[in-house]
């Protein structure tokens, strides 16, 4: 059989027509394949959720998309079966009534078969070289054409508020009142569908569900992916814009990392012709999400799937015809299966790349390292098996680095979240970690929150030029001193956290002594034992109410088992930020000793030390208050000050404990 050839024709590698007398055998074979208990379970796709077989999509195409809205079906319906081998070769088999015109002949000789609609539209041309974009993504834009989304603000508001009055033609006519170009017409249709059509989860789960009719979609405002795609195409055609429905595989709801795709297609989307090129849209995924726990749909507009750059669209959409990838070079099905899957939020949050580029990571010596690059400074967090533990996440100017240490051997789920320009962290990437070795020496404190180490964020919060830019501090004697600048009007608070009972909620600040010198803050830290500790840094604007805000933490490490430093003295509210304590730094004093004191106190008229008796401190020429006191016969020692010489009321500023005799 010879088919007419022209520039828009589709080449056919093989055409197999099975006549009606063979139909029983063919159907039996197909039914056996579906009932095979060893066959892979049906995938779920659609709204990044439950999918629909391509057969139903084709039935919808034949009944609704080409203007034949007949409600009665022929006694013997055409059946189309499509399959692929591992090399991507397509084999399509059609079973049809003996006297009927084969649909494949209609479909494949169709460059201009489609009857003109009311606007004179004809069958759109197939994509060609001028429609393709380079693969991999060049980072130029998330869109396949230059767009300023601000130009759509008025149109988006208008289109989202249009209501259905009667039929589809009138709806499209109303939508186009504020649209003055093909791009704006497509945008108005896209916005209306994404804000009004709900994903019908129940219907999508029905095994033998009939295809949606456009009138039913408008009436119920519910459908599945083929309904979304069919409605979008029909509305574009009414608007005079060329549009195609594209079936294929998707990495939607229910997708498992590394899974293979075969058999029925599980999704459908659209290609739309604008400014001389084909572009891709997915109104199903643009409309919202299905909650994995409740299986309920939620409207949640996603701009990403409007005119998506093809090199990004291919990450979760694989069309039945490779030409609709709009890529040069096109990707194979195996590449689609094996390539790293970046969620739309990965790009919505401004991410550019992630390494490793494989979804399954094997640890090396119990450790895995992930880095991400973003187009702007971004806050990140992670969860390993649902908990923010066993990892060190440090922020970079444009990205982050994460070292992860799985606590046990086996398989682990790692999720990475990014904040972007919003106040909400969104999951942007998932990895599967394979761990065959656990380094018991790398046990991180449970209270080690993210991020670790100073960064652009700590600078933004008023902590400047830290003495220790690295997030991990090693100390051989269990002591360290950390300094940094502090912006005017910023208060700093620090606390120490370990994984034992030595540091309690009451004492977590007693192993840190905070000093201020010439716009710099010093944190003197003494560790109660060897091990790993989280040193948390908080800030707050002095003039504003509310709590301190966590900024970052250091990881302090000490391997010296002889370390056994006591707490610093307890300070009270009248201990001024600019005061300085030189001695004694230990919060526990020896019994029956004369202990020297030396402090720098500002705005003080008198100072004294009170134990069993009272010992005054004197102000020397260098501006320090000096003196000593005896610890005999007392359990506690206080430093007290008189701020106003005309008053007799002394305030407590420091408290020491005295060792038992």
558 is catalytic: no
The candidate with the shortest Cα–Cα distance to 350, out of 321, 388, 315, 376, is 376
The residue behind tokens 């649909």 is 103
- 310/305 Cα distance (integer angstroms): 10
> Which of these is catalytic: 96, 133, 196, 267?
267
Q: Residue 318 — φ and ψ, nearest 5°?
A: -120, 110
225 is catalytic: yes
Question: In which element (H, E) is residue 56 found?
Answer: helix 54-60
Q: Residue 606 — φ and ψ, nearest 5°?
A: -145, 155
**CB hemisphere CA count around 432 (13 angstroms):** 12
316 is catalytic: no
Neighbours of 206 (CB within 10 A): 11
Contact residues for 602 (Cβ-Cβ < 8 A; gap 6+):
576, 578, 579
CB-CB contact of 228 with 197 (8 Å)? yes
- 192/283 Cα distance (integer angstroms): 10
Q: In 397-530, where do the E strands start and end?
A: 399-404, 410-418, 426-435, 463-464, 472-474, 479-486, 490-497, 512-517, 520-526
Q: Residue 14 — φ and ψ, nearest 5°?
A: -155, 140
> Which of these is catalytic: 133, 200, 225, 480?
225
- 473/532 Cα distance (integer angstroms): 10
Q: Which two tokens stand for residue 100?
A: 């009927």
The residue behind tokens 């973003």 is 374
The candidate with the shortest Cα–Cα distance to 488, out of 518, 510, 524, 513, is 518
CB-CB contact of 230 with 56 (8 Å)? no
Own/partner contacts of 395-400, CB < 8 Å, gap of 24 or more, are 395/451, 395/453, 395/455, 395/456, 395/457, 396/455, 397/456, 398/373, 398/374, 399/371, 399/372, 399/373, 399/374, 400/371, 400/372, 400/374, 400/451
> Which of these is catalytic: 156, 226, 282, 320?
282
Look at the chain and count its residues: 661
| The three-state (H, E, C) secondary structure of 259-308, written as one string | CCCCCCCCEEEEEEEECCEEEEECHHHHHEEECCCCCCEEECCCHHHEEE
CA-angle at 298, arms to 300 and 54, nearest 5°: 95
| Catalytic (active-site) positions | 225, 267, 282
């Amino acid at each position: 059989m010879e088919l007419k050839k022209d520039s828009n024709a589709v080449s056919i590698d093989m055409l197999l027509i099975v006549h009606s007398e063979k139909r029983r055998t063919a159907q039996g074979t197909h039914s056996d394949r579906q009932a095979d208990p060893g066959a892979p379970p049906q995938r779920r796709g659609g709204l990044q959720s439950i999918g629909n077989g391509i057969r139903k999509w084709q039935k919808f195409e034949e009944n609704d998309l080409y203007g034949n809205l007949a409600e009665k079906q022929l006694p013997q319906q055409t059946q189309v079966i499509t399959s692929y081998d591992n090399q991507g070769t397509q084999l399509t088999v059609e079973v049809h009534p003996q006297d009927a015109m084969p649909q494949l002949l209609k479909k494949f000789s169709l460059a201009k078969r489609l009857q003109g609609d009311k606007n004179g539209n004809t069958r759109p041309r197939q994509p060609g070289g001028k429609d393709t974009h380079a693969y991999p993504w060049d980072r130029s834009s998330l869109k396949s054409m230059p767009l300023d989304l601000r130009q759509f603000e008025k149109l988006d508001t208008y289109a989202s508020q249009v209501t259905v009055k009667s039929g589809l033609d009138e709806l499209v006519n109303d939508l186009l009142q504020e649209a003055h170009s093909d791009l704006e017409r497509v945008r108005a249709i896209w916005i209306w569908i994404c804000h009004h059509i709900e994903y019908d989860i129940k219907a999508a789960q029905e095994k033998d569900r009939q295809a949606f009719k456009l009138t039913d979609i408008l009436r119920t405002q519910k459908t599945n992916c083929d309904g979304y795609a069919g409605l979008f195409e029909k509305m574009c055609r009414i608007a005079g814009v060329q549009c195609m429905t594209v079936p294929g595989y998707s990495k939607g709801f229910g997708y498992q990392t590394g899974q293979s795709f075969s058999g029925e297609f599980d999704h459908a989307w659209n290609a739309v012709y604008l400014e001389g090129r084909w572009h891709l849209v997915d109104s199903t995924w643009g409309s919202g999400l299905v909650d994995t726990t409740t299986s309920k749909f939620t409207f949640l507009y996603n701009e990403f799937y409007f005119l998506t750059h093809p090199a990004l669209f291919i990450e979760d959409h694989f069309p039945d015809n490779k030409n609709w990838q709009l890529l040069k070079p096109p990707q194979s099905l195996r590449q689609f299966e094996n390539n790293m899957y970046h969620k739309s939020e990965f790009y919505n949050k401004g991410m550019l790349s992630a390494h490793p580029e494989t979804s399954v990571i094997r640890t090396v010596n119990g450790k895995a390292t992930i880095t991400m690059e973003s187009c702007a400074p971004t806050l990140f967090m992670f969860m390993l098996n649902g908990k923010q533990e066993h990892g060190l996440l440090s922020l970079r100017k444009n990205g982050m680095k994460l070292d992860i240490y799985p606590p046990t051997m086996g398989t682990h789920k790692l999720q990475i979240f990014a904040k972007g320009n919003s106040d909400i962290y969104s999951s942007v990437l998932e990895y599967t970690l394979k761990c065959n070795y656990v380094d018991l020496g790398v046990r991180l404190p449970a209270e080690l929150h993210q991020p670790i180490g100073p960064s652009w964020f700590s600078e933004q919060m008023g902590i400047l030029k830290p003495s220790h830019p690295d997030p991990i501090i090693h100390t051989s004697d269990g002591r360290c001193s950390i300094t940094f600048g502090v912006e005017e009007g910023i208060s700093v608070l620090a606390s120490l956290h370990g994984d034992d009972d030595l540091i309690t909620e009451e004492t977590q600040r007693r192993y840190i002594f905070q000093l201020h010198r010439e716009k710099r803050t010093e944190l003197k830290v003494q560790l109660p034992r060897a091990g790993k500790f989280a040193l948390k840094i908080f800030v707050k604007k002095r003039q504003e109410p509310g709590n301190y805000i966590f900024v970052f933490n250091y990881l302090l490490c000490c391997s010296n088992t002889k370390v056994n430093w006591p707490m610093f003295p307890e300070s009270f509210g009248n201990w001024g930020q600019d005061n300085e304590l030189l001695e004694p730094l230990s919060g526990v004093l020896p019994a029956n000793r004369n202990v020297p004191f030396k402090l720098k106190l500002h705005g003080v008229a008198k100072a004294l030390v009170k134990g069993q008796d009272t010992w005054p401190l004197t102000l020397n020429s260098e501006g320090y208050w000096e003196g000593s006191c005896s610890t005999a016969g007392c359990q506690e020692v206080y430093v007290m000050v008189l701020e106003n010489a005309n008053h007799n009321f002394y305030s407590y500023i420091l408290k020491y404990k005295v060792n038992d005799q």
